[in-house]
A and B are shown apart, each in its own frame.
Chain A
Amino acid sequence: MNAILTSLFSAVMAPLKGLDPAWSMVILSLVTGVAMLVAFRYVSNQRGIKRSKARVISELLAIRLFKDDPWMTIKCLGAALKSNLFYLRYMLTPLVVLLVPVVLLLIQMEQWYGSEPLTPGQTTRVALALDKKDDVAALDAVKLLPATDDSYAVESPAMRIPALGEVNWRIRAKNPGDTVLRFEVGGKPVEKRLAIAAPDQTDLSLVSTTRVGSGFFDAVLHPAESTIGGTVASVSVDHHARPFSIFGIEMAWWLAFFILSLVFAFALKGPLGIQA
């Protein structure tokens, strides 16, 4: 399923990756906002939401209208907060239902917006973790092989940390392109994708920071590469977080997505006749 989702999302990103990341984010947020809004309409109790929203507003108006009586003001305040809880109750079902697709989408977006690819000359840490900790013999049997395409160079000897069940190396990126890191673990080959971009490249690209060994949730959270299996827990490469700014304001990409999709959804819920 990971492969399907990743392919689908890569297809979606294909026409967008050449754009400024801010604009691609605007487009993605718009499409997501509309899609979520339409989905929201069908999975939520629209009449109930309308009723509960109206009730909340009426209590707020009551605070204003009957302000002469302090006790009534307090009573209306309590009623407003209580009505607010009823409103939230109506949000629970759509929230749970929409949570799944939205989380999957965010995970996909993280692959594109979360990290920068390496650039030639940049050094970084590569870590391979085994399932078992304190198994020195197994750690000894882990090797990072040199690149066959001269895309990277291993700059440091392996540093084994038995307490973490982990082996670390420092590598230097050499030539741009999508390549693989090749390992040997207990005599078996293991690979990990490595993204190296030219220094002047501005296009978005898929960056897989971690390939996991096994586990459902790990696999869901790192969908770009298939699970390794065997004794390997994960292989990860440290990438710099991709700086993101929108209309000159620096912020986390997910925050921009949150704000934009919300703004689009709020703007379009009226025209689409959706109560939210």
Chain B
Amino acid sequence: MNRTRNRRALALALLAAPLALVALSSPAEAYVGPGAGFALATSLFVVLGAVALAGIYLAIWPIRLAWRTLLGRRAFKDAKTKRVVILGLDGLDVRLAERYMAEGRMPNLQKLNFVPLATTLPALSPVAWSTFQTGLDPAGHGLFDFLRPARPHYMAELSSVTTTAPARMLKLGRFKIPLGKPKTRLRRRGVPFWKILGKQGIFSAVVRVPITFPPEKFRGVSLSGMCVPDIRGTQGTFTEFCDASGPDASEGGVRVPVTVNGDRVEAVLTGPPNPLTDKHESLTQPFSVAIDRAAGTVDVTIDGETERLKDGLHSEWMEVTFKAGLSVKIKGIVRFALVSLDPFRLYASPVHFNPEKPAQPISNPPAYAVYLGKRFGPCATLGLAEDTWALNERVIDSAQFLEGSYKIHAEREKHFFDALEKVRKGLVVCVFDGSDRIQHMFFRTLSDDHPANRGRRLDEYRDVIPDMYQKMDDLVGRTVAKLKKDDTLLVMSDHGFRNFSRGINLNAWLRQEGFLVMKEGHEGGQWYEGVDWSKTTAYALGLSGIFLNRKGREQHGIVGDKLASELIRAIKDKLAELRDPERPDYVPIRRTFGPAEIPPGPYADEAPEIMVGYNDDYRISWDGAVGDTRGPVFEDNVKAWSGDHCVDPALAPGVLYSNRKFTADQANIRDLAPTTLDLFGVPAPAVMKGRRLFGDNDKPPSPTPGDDYFTMARDDAASEPTPAVAREGSRDDA
């Protein structure tokens, strides 16, 4: 008691003494140092700045409103809703959603109206989300895969983005200073519907929608999603630091050998190539690790910041600065996770752009990423943020992958709910990718005999996918709770999911069938090593495309127009006959799509000549996807990446739920853009072929390429329940 009283007295005296000094001093003595100066100066600045800023915007708001009205852009004049909220749950599958709903795991989605959502050909996220935002078929927006040939060469390049270095450089000693910025261009054509809304004065918040990098200007805010690179310019390169007894180098990442000196490790984290030098040598940042073996923890110190790692959990984001010279600094953020102490294995995530200072713009306007970074702290900015490669290569384990993925999901939720709070009228779109990545990595847990279960624990992960669906449903519930009376909610996925237990190496098959020819004495290798292009007529690139080696298009093209049609027919026929020796009674390739079966569009000539619609359980093999012509045509998929969706689009429809009643009983992902425009009373441009899903409609349902999805679904009914059928009570055990 006495001690407490003494402490209080001491505290009072400490507080009173300096205050008394101030009170008794002359004005000259009342200054209290830089600390108070900061407080005073900063606070004053904030108050004045905030009031001035708000005052200016409030003062000019009526003028802006009048201007818009004068221009005839009377936002919301014919709107049927005040706000449209689109919650994108990447890869949410119809059959699984129906199953978990029936089990009572998804009560919130159960309350909404539902239609299955046909996806694009091919059923890939960059393609489908491009169609979602532009309302155009793939031949309209020009994206057909993650990758495309870097014509006239045969090497693959990212299909959605291209970057060109500044044309002029200034040489200054060892430095070469770019005069201008590198130009990053979005290859997706068409106009996203939020840009059309913006022209009518309707504000949009677009958070992490795939294929929005580089960010486009429009009335609203956006944070780019899929295809934002990491700081090294790749789509995500993790680093594994391990002592000599660690495993070999892995795909998708870099293995860095380190020496453990007692309880200390000194290492360097590799950053971006130096943009200011000729050789573009990699910039690095040293860091140290202090090991506490008794506690089983390590302290990682990088750039003056220390984080303790324990129990395999990821660190918080740690800021890291790479100095290029001439005061140029490139800022990133990284997470570490301790994999094991003995042998020493430390995982470092790909280095993401720091949202507060990204090396390239990742938001519209650039201040939006800064705002999110300041408001909620550092967040994942890499397009493919969940580190699937690190799990695939067994650098991290399943638990670490899940922990990392849900941390990213939690960040995204904060961004989404903030947008929901800030945009009271207009459009809010947010895409959550975790549902896609988790299904890719854990689909094996839905079938005991999946080859990827070999050497992997199964029992403790059986509930990962149902739990994820439940979490997504919970997110929907919290979203619904935030909606107002006049809001429209759309919950959608871009595609569904299927099992991937067997890989088909299309390049090995093309070689086997004589379409792809090797140079004399060459066994082959990745990226078409040893291919004799002067004799090759076709090659596979990406996840579902087969390209002809066309004259005038490819560097060593030999196929003319006349031969092309014959070749396409021949390849399609042979693929239809292709059988897996392990399952001779099963058709591994369900359908193939030639130029005639692809919905037309101005960029149809950029599509592969043949698109392959795999059947359930099948996909292109890992080797086939990287242009490897060796090996068997069929092989087991033993990687954790055990589910996929680049099958025949009829097998992987997405979902569409809404709090509004659909007047259509079937939908296509290309309907979302015209539907949203219609909800705001904005006419859809004629190039959008989709139709409105609410209210009267003057257009027929959107067919899927080459066939009607729902006809296909009925065909499937004999062997498995379709989404539509499942809705009526029939169950599929997926």
Q: Report yes or no: B31 in contact with A110, Cβ–Cβ below 8 A.
A: no
Give the most central of B203, B304, B365: most A CB within 10 Å: B203
Q: In the complex, A103→B18 CA distance in Å?
A: 8
Q: In the complex, A221→B25 CA distance in Å?
A: 8
Q: Report yes or no: A98 in contact with B58, Cβ–Cβ below 8 A.
A: no
Given A55-B375, A74-B54, are A254 and B35 also a contact pair (CB < 8 Å)? no
Q: In the complex, A67→B422 CA distance in Å?
A: 10
Q: Report yes or no: B14 in contact with A96, Cβ–Cβ below 8 A.
A: yes
Q: In the complex, A106→B32 CA distance in Å?
A: 9
Interface bits A11-37 vs B (CB < 8 Å: 1, else 0): 000000000000000000000110011
Considering the complex, which residues of chain B in the window 49-93 have a beta carbon less than 8 Å from any beta carbon of chain A? Answer: 49-51, 53-54, 57-58, 61
Q: Report yes or no: B374 in contact with A265, Cβ–Cβ below 8 A.
A: no
Q: Report yes or no: B24 in contact with A217, Cβ–Cβ below 8 A.
A: yes
- Interface status of A246 (Cβ within 8 A of chain B): no
Given A99-B22, A217-B21, are A73 and B58 also a contact pair (CB < 8 Å)? yes
Interface bits B574-589 vs A (CB < 8 Å: 1, else 0): 0000000000000000
Q: Interface-forming stretch among A128-136, A224-232, A255-263?
A: A255-263
- Interface status of A69 (Cβ within 8 A of chain B): yes
Residue of A nearest to B29 (CB): A106
B426: chain A residues at CB < 8 Å are 68
Interface residues on A, range: 35 or more
Q: Report yes or no: A84 in contact with B422, Cβ–Cβ below 8 A.
A: no
B32: chain A residues at CB < 8 Å are 95, 98-99, 102-103
B180: chain A residues at CB < 8 Å are none
Q: In the complex, A81→B32 CA distance in Å?
A: 23
Residue of B nearest to A114 (CB): B28
- Interface status of A212 (Cβ within 8 A of chain B): no
B25: chain A residues at CB < 8 Å are 103, 106-107, 221
Given A40-B34, A91-B35, A98-B35, are A58 and B374 also a contact pair (CB < 8 Å)? yes
Q: Report yes or no: A57 in contact with B374, Cβ–Cβ below 8 A.
A: yes
Q: Report yes or no: B422 in contact with A62, Cβ–Cβ below 8 A.
A: yes
- Interface status of B47 (Cβ within 8 A of chain A): yes
Considering the complex, which residues of chain A in the window 80-129 have a beta carbon less than 8 Å from any beta carbon of chain B? Answer: 80-81, 84, 87-88, 91, 94-96, 98-103, 106-107, 110, 114
Q: In the complex, A63→B59 CA distance in Å?
A: 13
B24: chain A residues at CB < 8 Å are 217, 221
- Interface status of A154 (Cβ within 8 A of chain B): no
- Interface status of B429 (Cβ within 8 A of chain A): no
- Interface status of A161 (Cβ within 8 A of chain B): no
- Interface status of A248 (Cβ within 8 A of chain B): no
Q: In the complex, A40→B422 CA distance in Å?
A: 36
A273: chain B residues at CB < 8 Å are 304
Given A64-B53, A261-B37, are A54 and B31 also a contact pair (CB < 8 Å)? no
Q: Report yes or no: A95 in contact with B36, Cβ–Cβ below 8 A.
A: yes
Q: Interface-forming stretch among B38-46, B229-237, B291-299?
A: B38-46
Interface bits B360-403 vs A (CB < 8 Å: 1, else 0): 00000101101101110100000000000000000000000000
Q: Report yes or no: A37 in contact with B18, Cβ–Cβ below 8 A.
A: no
Distance of A142 from chain B, by nearest CB (Å)? 26
Give the most central of B46, B221, B425: most A CB within 10 Å: B46
Residue of A nearest to B370 (CB): A61
Q: Report yes or no: B22 in contact with A103, Cβ–Cβ below 8 A.
A: yes
Q: Report yes or no: B57 in contact with A63, Cβ–Cβ below 8 A.
A: yes
Q: In the complex, A206→B35 CA distance in Å?
A: 28
Residue of B nearest to A220 (CB): B21
Q: Report yes or no: A276 in contact with B58, Cβ–Cβ below 8 A.
A: no
- Interface status of A252 (Cβ within 8 A of chain B): yes
Considering the complex, which residues of chain A in the window 44-70 have a beta carbon less than 8 Å from any beta carbon of chain B? Answer: 44, 53-70
B49: chain A residues at CB < 8 Å are 60
Q: Report yes or no: B53 in contact with A95, Cβ–Cβ below 8 A.
A: no
B47: chain A residues at CB < 8 Å are 81, 84
Residue of A nearest to B221 (CB): A65
Q: In the complex, A80→B365 CA distance in Å?
A: 20
Q: Report yes or no: A65 in contact with B368, Cβ–Cβ below 8 A.
A: yes
Given A54-B375, A217-B20, are A276 and B54 also a contact pair (CB < 8 Å)? no
Q: Report yes or no: B28 in contact with A252, Cβ–Cβ below 8 A.
A: yes
Q: Report yes or no: A67 in contact with B57, Cβ–Cβ below 8 A.
A: yes
Q: In the complex, A110→B423 CA distance in Å?
A: 56
Q: In the complex, A101→B39 CA distance in Å?
A: 18
Q: In the complex, A262→B39 CA distance in Å?
A: 11
Given A60-B53, A217-B24, are A98 and B33 also a contact pair (CB < 8 Å)? yes
Q: In the complex, A29→B60 CA distance in Å?
A: 44
Distance of A6 from chain B, by nearest CB (Å)? 16
Given A69-B203, A217-B24, are A58 and B375 also a contact pair (CB < 8 Å)? yes
Interface bits A217-258 vs B (CB < 8 Å: 1, else 0): 100110000000000000000000000000000001110011
Q: In the complex, A262→B375 CA distance in Å?
A: 27
Considering the complex, which residues of chain A in the window 183-220 have a beta carbon less than 8 Å from any beta carbon of chain B? Answer: 217, 220
Distance of A99 from chain B, by nearest CB (Å)? 4
Given A66-B423, A84-B46, are A61 and B374 also a contact pair (CB < 8 Å)? yes
- Interface status of A76 (Cβ within 8 A of chain B): yes
B373: chain A residues at CB < 8 Å are 54
A69: chain B residues at CB < 8 Å are 203, 422-425
Q: Report yes or no: A99 in contact with B18, Cβ–Cβ below 8 A.
A: yes
- Interface status of B718 (Cβ within 8 A of chain A): no
B54: chain A residues at CB < 8 Å are 63, 73-74, 76-77
Q: Report yes or no: B374 in contact with A87, Cβ–Cβ below 8 A.
A: no
Given A53-B42, A265-B38, are A63 and B22 also a contact pair (CB < 8 Å)? no
Q: In the complex, A72→B108 CA distance in Å?
A: 29
Q: Report yes or no: B29 in contact with A36, Cβ–Cβ below 8 A.
A: no
- Interface status of B15 (Cβ within 8 A of chain A): yes
Q: Report yes or no: A96 in contact with B18, Cβ–Cβ below 8 A.
A: yes
Q: Report yes or no: A106 in contact with B53, Cβ–Cβ below 8 A.
A: no
Q: In the complex, A68→B24 CA distance in Å?
A: 50
Q: Report yes or no: A71 in contact with B424, Cβ–Cβ below 8 A.
A: yes
Give the most central of B24, B36, B370: most A CB within 10 Å: B36
Partner of A99, one of B21, B28, B422: B21
Q: Report yes or no: A58 in contact with B371, Cβ–Cβ below 8 A.
A: yes
Q: What are 20 A-to-B residue pairs whose CB atoms are below 8 Å? A: A32-B33, A54-B375, A58-B371, A59-B50, A63-B54, A67-B57, A69-B203, A70-B57, A70-B58, A72-B422, A77-B50, A98-B32, A99-B19, A99-B22, A101-B33, A217-B21, A257-B31, A265-B38, A266-B34, A266-B38
What residues of chain B have their CB less than 8 Å away from a CB belonging to chain A?
14-15, 17-22, 24-29, 31-39, 41-43, 46-47, 49-51, 53-54, 57-58, 61, 203, 219, 221, 304, 365, 367-368, 370-371, 373-375, 377, 422-426
Lowest 4 A-B CB distances belong to which pairs? A99-B18, A58-B375, A102-B33, A91-B39
